[in-house]
Structure 1
C-alpha cells in the first residue's frame, strides 16, 4: 500500500491507522502548500486533488475519502482492533468520523486556514476566520458534552473515531494554539502517547 499524504493534513489520521495495523506501507508526499495536489501526476492518482489517497496495490484502484479509507483499514485488519465488532458500535464509530470529517474539519478549520474558499472578497476573510473559530469552540463543546467513552471516543475502546478526532485536535492545539475541553484534552494527550501516533508524527516531521 502507498499513502499519499501532506504533513499535518487530515491524512495524518490515516497515517496513524496504518501504523496501528503494523502492516508495511509506503509514503508519498503531496506538496499541498505549493499546489502539488493539482499537479498532473497527482490528479492522475486522485482526480479530487486532495489527500489522503491510498493506493491498494494488488487489492485494486486507489481508494479516496477519509471515512472510506479508515473503514477499509479497519475491516481489512480486524486483528488491529480499529473498529467495534458489533453493528451498532461500528455505526457509532462512523457517526463520529462523519461529524468530524464532514462538519468539524471544513467549517472549523478549512474555513480558518483557507478563508478564500468561503468568501471571495479579501476584506471578508477575517470574518470567515472568526466564524470558524467560533465553530471550533461550539463543535468541541458538543463533543465534550456528548462524550460516550472513557479515554477513547467509544466505550468499546480505540477506533477509527479516535484517529479522526486526533487530527482536528492537533490542528486546534498545535496550529491554532487553542486549548481543548477537559475530556478532549485528556484524549489528545492519550493519543500523543500511543506508539503509532509518535511514529506517524516523527515520519511527518511534526512536533508531538
Structure 2
C-alpha cells in the first residue's frame, strides 16, 4: 500500500511539473495527447474513490495480479476512450485540468492512506481486499507515468521501486520472468506494446517476444 502512495504521488508531481505546451505533446498511449492521459487519470482517481467507498462482505475473487486481464489492443473506437478525448479538450486551459487532478487526486491519495487494508471492496464486478486493489494500481500508475513522460524531455521517471513491482506483476501475469538484462522501464513498455523491441532486445527475449504485447485492462 505504501507503493500506491509513492507511485501516485510521483505521477501527480510529474503532471504538476508539465508546462501548458507539454499538454499538447503525444503521450505513450496510442492516439492520446498528454492532456487526454491526464484526463484519464482524473477518471482513474474517481474510480479509486468509488471503489474504496464500496465495501462488501463477499469473498475475494481477484488479487493484485489477477485483477488485470489481457484484453484486445485498443482500436480507438471504444466509447469511453472517445469520451476521454472530448472531456480533455473541453477543459481548454491545461491549468484547469491540472487543478482538477490535484483536487480529486489528493482525495484519492488520502482515501488510500486511510483505507483498512483487509476490507473487501467491489469493482468491475470483482471483489478484492483494499490491499490488493491498491497494489494493482501501482501497475496502472507506473505504466501511465511512463506514458506521461514518453515525449517530454527531462520529465522525472517513475520511482524505481514502483517500476520493479510493476515488472514483477507483469511477469506473474505472463507466467514467465523477463530477461534480467532488460531494464524495468523497457520491459514494461515492450511487454504492454508501448513500443516494439529492438533487434537486440528481441534476441534477448527469445521465444518470449512472440507472446508480446500483453495489453491489459
TM-score (norm 1): 0.33
- Greater relative CO, 1 or 2 (CA 8 Å, sep 6+): 2
TM-score by length of 2: 0.32
